[in-house]
Amino acid sequence: MSTVRVRFAPSPTGDLHVGGARTALFNWLYARHHGGSFVLRIEDTDAARSTEAATQVIIDSLNYLGLDWDEGPGKGGDYGPYYQSQRLDLYREYANKLMEKGRAYECYCSPEELDERRQEQIKLGQGTRYDGRCLHLTDEDKEKYRAEGRIPVLRFKALDEGETLVEDLVRGNVKFDNVTQVDDFVIFKSDGMPTYNFAVVVDDALMKITHVIRGEDHLSNTPKQIQIYQALGFAVPKFAHIPMILGPDKSLLSKRHGATSVTQFYDEGYLAEAMVNYLSLLGWGYDDSQTIFSTSELIEKFSLERVSKNPAVFDLQKLEWMNGVYIREQSLEELYAVALPFWQKAGFLPEEPNTEERDYALRILKELQSRLKLMAEVVELAEYFFKDDYEYKSEIVEKIMTKPHTEAVLDFVYDAVQAASKLDEETLKPQFKVGLETFGIKMGDLIQPIRVALTGTNVSPGIYDVLELLGKERVLERITRTKTMLKERELI
């Protein structure tokens, strides 16, 4: 059996959508499972819509997800991706071959004329297809049209009888009627650029792609592509059309449903492993029970046989949950690598943190690890660990710092901390208990105001962990700062 070669062939016209990322992932998993090659090809022949920025987004997104490609036109280790815009001569060459074989012809019909005829077909209740008008133009006809300033497109001469069979590894055998479903479609536009349906065949054939794995929205293009393979004498690859991704309301997943681009998920702090795991389940499953798969497990278990025909529903809550699962499985060093850019961007840590700053950050992550769902939350949840001018949440100050004994409790804790040799639970708890008796309050009534004083809010890791992390000096300063604030607000 020939070695598996698959490709991901995005058009760089915008963000990489999760659907595209899922297609890339299935191809990548298939290649890795079979020890084959994964090719990245940027389909940038639509000059008006393709941008370099979008290409970069695709590359960044694949890098983030860890979907590495295996080859490209570059040299040494610095290869790829392939760009269709750099391969225009090839498409021209194969278009000429089709012309020589009588399987392609120039068409001079203007867009307006085509539209008029299409309207007419609709009116007559016929299918809309090119009527073959330019199929038999003489040289004089062409001359005349050119003199009128018309620039031709090139059309493929499709088969006008029979059926084209798509043997799809996911959808089974799908038949297309050549008369009504495949017309003489354009393969080269008047701007001299090849169309998708043509360039994709030339590339997939020349790149020796064995399996074309892509979204089901391309199924209807497949008979057109198969006819071109056959006309050029190329071997037809295997096809696998993978199901569409829907939003919770069962309509096609789109921006309306919230975050859909890989960049957005990256920005919100989804771990690559969680994204890969979640995306793998959009249309594929191993059995009914297992949902958590490491990437290496996915490589081992992935197969096209287990890809479903039914659309997949994108469930953001499940993805969030899964991200939390992965966050909890990470080592602190791994989490630090993901948290660092967020903290740097927020100005909490410098470009190159020193050992002390790094250790402090690791200790903070140890406390936050169990509560994080998205890594982006590390900014809000850790702000008071890094900034001494943290804000006090007004409604929480109102609720907690207006209780009786607040000032006395703050003073009491100030003294206890000052006198303590260490700020851990073992040292401080017995001291705090003494205070409880003095004021006739419960532990919570002592801890709550201290928490607000040290963090500005009422949710934080355990109070002794916060005390230890901040250290004596900062704890004392913060209690003083809090008292000043309460006096300014005339609450004490």
Q: Let me know: does 276 contact 32? Beta carbons within 8 Å.
A: no
Q: According to the binding rule CB under 6 A, does residue 214 interact with ligand GLU?
A: yes
Q: Which stretch binds ligand GLU (CB under 6 A): 8-16, 146-154, 302-310, 318-326?
A: 8-16
User: Considering 144, 255, 399, 442, which one is annotated as catalytic?
Assistant: 255
CA distance 446 to 198: 74
Q: Helix H segments across 290-424? A: 295-301, 316-329, 332-345, 355-368, 377-386, 394-400, 406-419
Binder among 4, 5, 6, 11 for ligand GLU (CB under 6 A)? 11
User: Between 58 and 467, whose beta carbon lies closer to ligand GLU?
Assistant: 58
Of residues 183 through 212, those in contact with ligand GLU by CB under 6 A are 196, 200
The nearest distance, CB 248 to ligand GLU, in angstroms, is: 24
Bridging pattern class, strands 245-246 and 312-313: parallel
Q: Which DSSP string corresponds to 445-457?
A: HHHHHHHHHHHSS
Residue from the set 5, 6, 10, 211 that interacts with ligand GLU by CB under 6 A: 10
Phi, psi of 328 (to 5 degrees): -70, -20
Counting contacts by CB under 6 A, is residue 9 touching ligand GLU? yes
3-state secondary structure 329-353: HCCHHHHHHHHHHHHHHCCCCCCCC
Tell the smallest beta-carbon distance from residue 317 to ligand GLU (Å). Answer: 28
383 lies in the binding site for ligand GLU (CB under 6 A): no
Residue 403 near residue 437, CB atoms below 8 Å: no
Interaction between residue 12 and ligand GLU (CB under 6 A): no
Min dist. Cβ of residue 225 to ligand GLU (A) = 8
CB of 42 to ligand GLU, least distance (A): 9
Considering only residues 218, 358, 366, 481, which one is a binding residue for ligand GLU as defined by CB under 6 A? 218
Q: Does 43 bind ligand GLU (CB under 6 A)?
A: yes
Residue 171 sits in the site that holds ligand GLU (CB under 6 A): no
- What's the CA gap between 284 and 247, in Å, rounded? 17
Pick between residue 196 and residue 293 the one whose CB is nearest to ligand GLU: 196
**What's the token pair of residue 128?**
């809309």
Q: Extract the tokens encoding 403.
A: 């209780």
- Stretch of residues binding ligand GLU (CB under 6 A), selected from 7-15, 168-176, 238-246, 369-377: 7-15
318 is catalytic: no
Question: Which of 316, 203, 332, 304 has the alpha carbon at shortest distance from 270?
Answer: 316
Token pair for 132: 């073959």
Nearer to ligand GLU among residue 46 and residue 320 (C-beta): 46
Residues of this chain that interact with ligand GLU (CB under 6 A) are 9-11, 43, 196, 200, 214, 218
Residues known to be catalytic:
255
